[in-house]
Amino acid sequence: MQVWAVANQKGGVGKTTTAVSLGGLLADASQRVLLIDLDPHGSLTSYFKYDPDELETSVYDLFQPEREIDKRLLERLILPTSNPHIDMIPATTALATLERKTVGQEGMGLQVAKALRVLKDQYDYVLIDSPPVLGVLMINALAASGHLLVPVQTEFLALKGLERMLRTINMINRARKRKLTYSLIPTFYDRAVPAAVSALRELHQRFPEQISAAVVPVDSKFITASAKGVTPSAMDLSTPGVQAYIRILRGLAERSRS
């Protein structure tokens, strides 16, 4: 089982879209995919037409110290999606209270990792969508994952935000035996915008090893796919955004083989 967290301490950079697009492509290749929504906004949950305000069970249930994380609990949390190869553990808006509730509780950083240990034979890939704030949820996402995907908008301010994420990765790596590696995925790229071109050039110069095999262009098909609740590749395989994620996925597969 491969576990990839998608994270950036900035909202609206394409995290949820990256999780759904890559998950969809893996599902198209008949891989068994689990998506986990760790963002209290519940965008991933809403994407697949579940209401984060109404759900009674969610990833929140992993954070009840008295409850054992076993197959029985997880079976209750896992929901089907519009894609037969993709399951999801949804978020509820109650997740927003978690940061306050877990202050001072030991071991709460490994709840998702524990759950994935139980599920390791059930899925080939797990993609974790994380919130844009550094807290117990992001720590869980990073601790559970083997490789991190960081979508970065190709604009100057987003590059500044990236610094914060890199500091977080360094902090996590001081506590980990096996270093958390990461890939940067440039998103919302518009080559007609000079500032975007120079932001992309800077990313290539500074992170030649980490930059993904392709750049995700601005593509309105992502918005249409999310309105329909289907993965972008299930809606339109030929659209430039999906084609970019295909190349990115190929690059990620190559790096995990090497």
Ligand X SMILES: Nc1ncnc2c1ncn2[C@@H]1O[C@H](COP(=O)(O)OP(=O)(O)O)[C@@H](O)[C@H]1O
Task: Give me the residues that bind Mg ion (CB under 5 A), please.
Answer: 15-16, 43
CB of 172 to ligand X, least distance (A): 19
CB of 95 to Mg ion, least distance (A): 13
Binding track over 3-42 against ligand X, x by CB under 6 A: --------xxxxxxx-------------------------
Distance CA(28)–CA(80), nearest Å, equals 16
Of 188, 214, 234, 239, which one interacts with ligand X (CB under 6 A)?
Answer: 188
Distance CA(82)–CA(89), nearest Å, equals 14
The answer to whether 20 touches 86, Cβ cutoff 8 Å, is no
Of 24, 90, 131, 241, which one interacts with ligand X (CB under 6 A)?
Answer: 241
Which amino acid would we find at residue 156?
F
Distance CA(76)–CA(105), nearest Å, equals 25
| Stretch in the footprint of ligand X (CB under 6 A) among 106-114, 155-163, 191-199, 222-230 | 222-230
Q: Which does 109 bind (CB under 5 to 8 A by kind): Mg ion, ligand X, none?
A: none
Of 111, 187, 233, 239, which one interacts with ligand X (CB under 6 A)?
Answer: 187
The answer to whether 173 touches 145, Cβ cutoff 8 Å, is no
Which amino acid would we find at residue 126?
V
Rule CB under 6 A: is residue 219 a binding residue for ligand X?
yes
Distance CA(142)–CA(7), nearest Å, equals 8
Residue 104 has φ and ψ, to the nearest 5°, of 85, -5
| Stretch in the footprint of ligand X (CB under 6 A) among 29-37, 82-90, 98-106, 213-221 | 213-221
> What is the size of the binding site for ligand X (CB under 6 A)?
18
Q: Which does 235 bind (CB under 5 to 8 A by kind): Mg ion, ligand X, none?
A: none
Is the sign of the CA dihedral 236, 237, 239, 243 positive or negative? positive
**Which residues, other chains included, contact 210 with Cβ-Cβ below 8 Å and sequence gap of 6+?**
182, 183, 184
Q: Which does 226 bind (CB under 5 to 8 A by kind): ligand X, Mg ion, none?
A: ligand X
Which residues are at the interface with ligand X (CB under 6 A)? 11-17, 43, 187-188, 216, 218-220, 222-223, 226, 241
